[in-house]
Amino acid sequence: MPEKVPQSKPVQHPSQEPAQASNDVAVSRNIYLDAFLTFFKIGLFTLGGGYAMIPLIEAEIIEKKKWVGKDEFMDLLAIAQSCPGVFAINISIFIGYRLRRVKGAVVSCIGTALPSFIIILLIALFFHQFKDNEIVAAAFRGIRPAVVALIAVPTYNLAKKAKLTWKTAWVPIASALLIWQLGVSPILIIIAAGVVGYLVGRRGTRKVHEVAGIMDEQRKADESVEEEK
Amino acid sequence: MIFLQLFITFFKIGLFGFGGGYGMLSLIQQEVVKNHPWMSSADFTDIVAISQMTPGPVGINSATYAGYTALQNTGADPWVCVLGSCVATFSLVLPSLILMLLISRFFMKYADHPKVRAVFDGLRPAVVGLLLAATLMLMNAENFGNPFTEILGHDFGGNPADTKQFAVGVALFVLTFVFTKGFTIGSGDKARKVKIGPIKMIVMAAIVGAVIL
């Protein structure tokens, strides 16, 4: 199979000039503190998980702080979403690295995770006291089926976005059955899918930029829906 | 040594958790409910519900909470439980940190390489499968109740007293699915999309549960 090496270089690499972006920022304040507080704010005000924070990151990081450019941000988004791990954490590590390499990455990462961590701990510390309360228990009997639906919806959306055809639809069905009925580890499924993908090769023509573009459109559509309300 | 187990488990989850917070849920569930006797399926669903309602990424929220619950269920003191959530959260983030730094440092230029994209193209349908598995695994008696005692001579071990809970649960599931996904009413210029956010849906389900269950 002939391999096409991309001629243009769509993804700039940061490794050569990681600190460059920060040169534009005329901050006298400590950049570490600045990065920490910015990502803390992003972590604190994100409701509904990963993708909900993209507009917030854009407003803070691109427009206000100008830490990365819009195009570069789109590349980072596409890579961060393809990689394992928590999406918001991935993107904060990327941007932190742009600012101050490893130290910047660690600081941004902690900033993003800390609000969640503190809030959940506070809830966990006190929740068990209410858990046995009759009304709370009844409320959770109502919440549980709704939560299952909240996981079913992204399943549906992701299936739609993955553009499954009759040729590929068996993959998610078979993997789900293997995990659900036979107790196969999801990790094995992930590894097998990656290996098969590598062996079969790439047939589509999508580029990371286009993926980011699709995400952007999706987000705008979601936003317009929000506004209508 | 539960802390070491927590570390290994959540490191694995962080390393193989493709598809964002929701993709991670099937992994977390498999590990903390099935592979380790840390919590019940109902505990896990409660964790997902609370992770949804609170700010922050769902993956971090549920790891913090799962670490806490795992130790709480062993009867440990609250401060030991806090240590459990520290370990779980730290080990979930660690693989991301290592991977993203490696990518930033060395591999950014390969992100567009056809072979790399081939691997991700292969992963995409499998991640759908992972999410589907998480959904199916949560459709159980702990979350919906089980009113079925016997169907066609096969014993389902249910309790007829669960009938009301089951009916309400199924209704809440369908309603939440339809409204969270969103749908369009009307056509042409008058078409408008109806969609309710997940937090509002959870609050409404809680009220329904508190009132009639």
What would the pLDDT profile of B157-184 be if each residue is shown by its tens digit?
778 888 899 999 999 999 999 998 888 8
A150 domain-assigned: no
Residues 138-197 of A with CB under 8 A from B: 138-159, 162, 164, 168-169, 171-176, 179-180, 183, 185-187, 189-197
pLDDT of residue A25: 46
Asked, for residue A206, whether it belongs to a domain, the answer is no
| B147: confidence class by pLDDT, cuts 50, 70, 90 | confident
Residue A38 in domain = yes
Mean pLDDT, residues A105-116? 95
Check CB contact under 8 Å for B131 and A158.
yes
Q: Is A222:B197 a contact under the CB 8 Å cutoff? A: no
In a domain, A75, yes or no: yes
Q: Which residue has the tokens 């950014």?
A: B108
User: Three-state SS for B184?
Assistant: strand
The pLDDT of residue A89 is 92
The DSSP-derived string for B6-69 is: HHHHHHHHHHH--SHHHHHHHHHHIIIIIISTT--HHHHHHHHHHHHHSSS-HHHHHHHHHHHH
Task: Kindly state whether B25 is in contact with chain A, defined as any CB-CB distance less than 8 angstroms.
Answer: yes
pTM: 0.77
pLDDT at B98: 95
Asked if residue A201 belongs to a domain, the reply is: no
Q: Is A83 close to B174, i.e. CB distance below 8 A?
A: no
Q: Report yes or no on A26 lying in a domain.
A: yes
Residues of A in contact with B201 (CB under 8 A): 146, 149-150
Predicted local distance difference test score (pLDDT) of residue A51? 63
* Helices first, then strands: H and E counts in chain B: 9, 4
* Greatest pairwise CA separation for chain A in angstroms: 65
- Taking the alpha carbons at both ends of chain B, their separation in whole angstroms is 40
pLDDT in tens, B123-140: 888 888 888 988 898 888
Q: B46 CA to chain A: closest CA distance, Å?
A: 7
Q: Is the CB of residue B126 less than 8 Å away from at least one CB of chain A?
A: yes
Residue from the list A90, A116, A193 with its beta carbon closest to the beta carbon of B122: A193
Q: Helix/strand/coil (H, E, C) string of A28-57?
A: CCCHHHHHHHHHHHHHHCCCCCHHHHHHHH
CB B6 within 8 A of CB B70: yes
- Identity of residue B55: P
Question: Any chain A CB within 8 A of the CB of B112?
Answer: yes
Who wins on pLDDT, B213 or B208?
A: B208
Q: How far is A202 from chain B (nearest CA, A)?
A: 4
- pLDDT score for A49: 59
B57 chain-A contacts, CB cut-off 8 A: 43, 46, 49-50, 53, 86-89, 112-113, 116
Chain A residues in contact with B30 (beta carbon < 8 A): 179, 185-186
Number of inter-chain CB pairs under 8 A, A vs B: 408
Instruction: Judge whether A169 lies within some domain.
Output: no
Do the Cβ atoms of B122 and A93 come within 8 Å? Answer: no
Range of the domain at A41: 1-133
Q: Which residues 27-56 on chain B approach chain A with CB closer than 8 angstroms?
A: 27, 30, 34, 42, 45-46, 48-52, 54-56
Could you tell me what percent of chain B has a pLDDT over 90?
A: 45
Q: What are phi and psi of B192, to 5 degrees?
A: -140, 150
Average pLDDT (A191-211) is 69
Chain B residue whose CA is closest to A152 = B135
Closest-CA distance of chain A to residue B183, Å: 11
- With an 8 Å Cβ cutoff, are A148 and B139 in contact? yes
Kindly state the average pLDDT of the residues B54-79: 92
A-chain CB neighbours of B16 within 8 Å are: 84, 186-187, 190-191
Pick from B10, B93, B105, B113 the residue to mutate for testing the A interface (most A CBs within 10 Å).
B93
> Which candidate from A172, A175, A190 shows the least CB-CB separation from B16?
A190
Write the residue in B56, B100, B207 that is nearest to A90 by C-beta: B100
Overall number of domains in chain A: 1
Closest-CA residue of A relative to B126 is A172
ipTM: 0.83
Asked whether residue A142 is domain-assigned, the answer is: no
Half-sphere exposure of B209 (CA within 13 A, CB side): 27
State yes or no: pLDDT of A24 exceeds 50.
no
Judge: B60–A89 Cβ closer than 8 Å, yes or no: yes
Q: Average pLDDT of A111-139?
A: 89
DSSP lists the bridge partners of residue B18 as none
pLDDT in tens, A25-79: 444 468 999 999 999 988 887 765 556 677 788 888 888 889 988 888 888 887 8
User: Any chain A CB within 8 A of the CB of B70?
Assistant: no
DSSP-based three-state secondary structure for B192: strand
Q: Give me the pLDDT at residue A13, please.
A: 47
What residue spans define the domains of chain B?
A: 2-143, 157-212
Q: How far apart are the first and last CA of chain A?
A: 51
Name the burial class of residue A107, with classes exposed (0-12), middle (13-18) and buried (19+) by CB atoms within 10 angstroms of its CB: buried
> What is the distance, to the nearest Å, from the Cα of residue A127 to the centroid of all Cα atoms in its chain?
28
pLDDT digits (tens, 9 = 90+) for B89-134: 999 999 999 999 999 988 777 877 888 888 888 888 888 888 898 8
Q: What is the pLDDT of residue A28?
A: 45
